[in-house]
Structure 1
Amino acid sequence: MQSFQLEEYLSRGTDRIIKGILKASLSNPGESAFMIQYSKAAKEARELRREAEARGEHIPPFLIASITSQCNLHCKGCYARANESCGEFERNGQLDKEQWGDIFSQAEELGIGFILLAGGEPLVRRDVIETAARHKRILFPVFTNGTLMDQDYVKLFSDHRNLIPVFSMEGNQQRTDDRRGAGVYHTLMGTMECMREKGILFGTSITVTKENLDEVTSDEFTCRLAGAGCKAVVYVEYVPADPMTQGLAPDEEDRARMEQRLRKLREKKQAMLYISFPGDEKASGGCLAAGRGFFHINANGGAEPCPFSPFSDTSLKETRLREALKSRLFVKLRDGEFLTGEHSGGCVLFGQEKAVRALVSESERDA
């Protein structure tokens, strides 16, 4: 891996995302004005990362932050519930708003321009989301099930355009309600209509399986989303947290078909932004987890390779963000071949649980 090539690849990727969001917001003066201002901050962040790269230090452009373990839904096949990082109640020891605010400030200083807020259900932590809103040089996509979006939240998102709600769904009403619960699809449609009326840019996040791939990448479905006011779609490959659902995970043929469909959508429907995760790993030399392109911070402050590989040897309660990127676990994952293998669902590390656990044990012995 040549790090300068990786930095260039990531910088081009973030530029494409920013341009895509800007194009999607052109019909909305308030959103457009913010994105023009933010694009300047993003260029400055990219320069900070390039300066670090020249010093031999790689800074990823993204972070994923699970700001709570609490969730009000019981979605079938949820990886967070499967690995016991999510439940009905907030657990002791989770980061408070001041600690999250400090992490956001550190990220800004390093040149990290995107922080995806997740959970659990992130809207249960209004205090953290309000803290994020004050960091205008960072874009915060908020991945939410949308069921807790009350009028106070609508005002918060309207007043702070660096917060972008991304609503999770599975496709049509039957698929969404079957996985997320009866009535969730109807609630989501009402929430999207409210966003459209208020002129708030929003996106959707769709878990892609063998069963729904063709539907959720179809012209009919994406036109329906566009009509609802959606400006961005994030496709996330299904991770078989339950071994009995292994058959739902997309394989190489499915990924190739999805990429082909996304190319067509991007050509035909340029008013929408289409993002796939993990995306084209071959073009980036492998998985981008463990600090290559991003890493995950869990609700207790643990620095993890990614949400689907919930193992950590470093706590951000005790360690600065810059040092967490140099954790023994991350370094061993990046220096080995753990991030470049073939996989059958979502995260290349997901199928290597035993090996990653062993690395954590080694790191603890070395400490």
Structure 2
Amino acid sequence: MSKEFDIQEYMTHGVERVVSDAIKATLKNPKESVYMAKFALATKAASKKRARMEADGEHIPPFLIASITSSCNLHCAGCYSRCNNATNDAAPVKQLTDDEWLKIFDEADDLGVSFILLAGGEPLLRKGVIEAAGRKQNILFPIFTNGTFMTEKYFDMFDQNRNLVPIMSIEGEKEATDNRRGEGVYDKLISNMDELKKRGLIFGASVTVTTENIKDVSSESFIGNLSDKGCKAVIFVEFVPVTDDSKHLAPGEEDREYLKKEIMRLRQEHPEMVFVSFPGDEKSSGGCIAAGRGFFHINSHGGAEPCPFSPYSDINVKDTSLREAMNSRLFKALQKEGVLLDDHDGGCVLYEKRHEVEAILSDAVNSVW
């Protein structure tokens, strides 16, 4: 399978589909459609750049996930970032500066990276980094936010920089959202959506999919309501257990098959919206696309990790270039050992095989290539 599967072609088609869907979703919004048309040209140029480097034997992923802070004001039940100690309530130390993040964005632009997903913690706590992202118009920055810090200054910033797209985390209706995120969060999200719609700004929703809410969050009632509010993108993120007592919340094979069919239906019935599932059905898409195959993760301190659910690193962008981080020993070893293509129960292969990943990391750190 790995010999027949063309990861470059697969990822390029994925980017083109997302951009195409985004253009359709913004046709009734002149400002957004003009930006998306320009961005479509930028993504084609970036794809050609990555293809040239692929031909020279170097694979560049089109996506990057950047956790720009380790701070967050919420304590959501089952948060992977807190369970991994990537987010905590202590005063942040040794985090990358605004200028260091801008340098990463500059390098990503030069390499042909088209999307940088800004996460945290709560990314809106880093206004300087968001401003730096706004200057890189060739890159689309979905900002995964809990929405509680969205004020006038951010609405204005999103209006002036159309490459910044807030993706607000919501768990379903009011009860489900407030139960996981805290009382009053749902009403704040709805207020944000109303303001964004009034200003003609596009935004999306990020939904953590569990065995308990999978049918509710993929229902016409929930999606139709988001569409009415002006939501243009829904990112379904499968719950990944980081403690044994939450395993029952992780979607199984039947759940993922159900979600896959529902997303196909939603794409047909809601062409005004973009639907993405993460990690999605790895078994039918050539395996896990983390560790530099399709994306990788930079944590708030600069460590290059396979993905947010696999917080292992052997290289830091403070000490090297983004390009060298993409080719880290750990990433290369994970690809060479075939872990990303391994059979597994589904969901996140790197979390399921975390002990194997830890062993590979130890070997990568202690070996000399």
TM-score between the two structures when normalised by the length of structure 1: 0.98
Q: Is the 8 A contact 1:236 1:346 kept in 2?
A: no
Corresponding residue for 2:226? 225
Quick check: 1:341 aligned with 2:366?
no
Secondary structure of 1:222's counterpart equals helix
Secondary structure of 1:171's counterpart equals coil
Secondary structure of 1:275's counterpart equals strand
Quick check: 1:13 aligned with 2:14?
yes
Distance 1:281 1:364 in 2: 28
Corresponding residue for 2:145? 144
Secondary structure of 2:102's counterpart equals helix
Given the superposition, is the C-alpha separation of residues 28 and 15 from structure 1 closer, same or farther in structure 2, using an over 3 Å criterion? same
Corresponding residue for 1:132? 133
Two-structure CA RMSD over aligned residues (Å) = 1.2
What CA deviation, in whole Å up to 9, does each residue of 1:306-347 have, x standing for no partner? 000000000000111111121110011011121123445642
| Deviation (angstroms), 1:278 | 1.0
Matches within 5 A, 1:182-193: 182-193=183-194
Corresponding residue for 2:29? 28
Distance 2:191 2:281 in 1: 34
Given the superposition, is the C-alpha separation of residues 232 and 97 from structure 1 closer, same or farther in structure 2, using an over 3 Å criterion? same
Distance 1:347 1:8 in 2: 22
Report the residue type matching 1:289 in the other structure: A
Number of residue pairs aligned between Structure 1 and Structure 2 = 367
Distance 1:360 1:98 in 2: 29
Distance 1:163 1:95 in 2: 20
Given the superposition, is the C-alpha separation of residues 157 and 90 from structure 1 closer, same or farther in structure 2, using an over 3 Å criterion? farther
Quick check: 1:196 aligned with 2:197?
yes
What CA deviation, in whole Å up to 9, does each residue of 1:234-292 have, x standing for no partner? 00000112211101100111100110111111111111111101123123310000000
Given the superposition, is the C-alpha separation of residues 75 and 157 from structure 1 closer, same or farther in structure 2, using an over 3 Å criterion? same
Secondary structure of 1:206's counterpart equals strand
Distance 1:90 1:37 in 2: 40
Q: Is the 8 A contact 1:106 1:321 kept in 2?
A: yes
Quick check: 1:118 aligned with 2:84?
no
Report the residue type matching 1:231 in the other structure: K
Structure 1 alignment gaps of length 5 or more: none
Distance 1:363 1:346 in 2: 25
| Deviation (angstroms), 1:352 | 1.8
Distance 2:205 2:173 in 1: 13
Structure 2 alignment gaps of length 5 or more: none
Task: Please say which of residues 88-97 and 23-32 is displaced more in the overlay.
Answer: 88-97
Secondary structure of 1:170's counterpart equals coil
Quick check: 1:290 aligned with 2:291?
yes
Distance 1:6 1:283 in 2: 12
Given the superposition, is the C-alpha separation of residues 89 and 156 from structure 1 closer, same or farther in structure 2, using an over 3 Å criterion? farther
Q: Is the 8 A contact 1:287 1:339 kept in 2?
A: yes
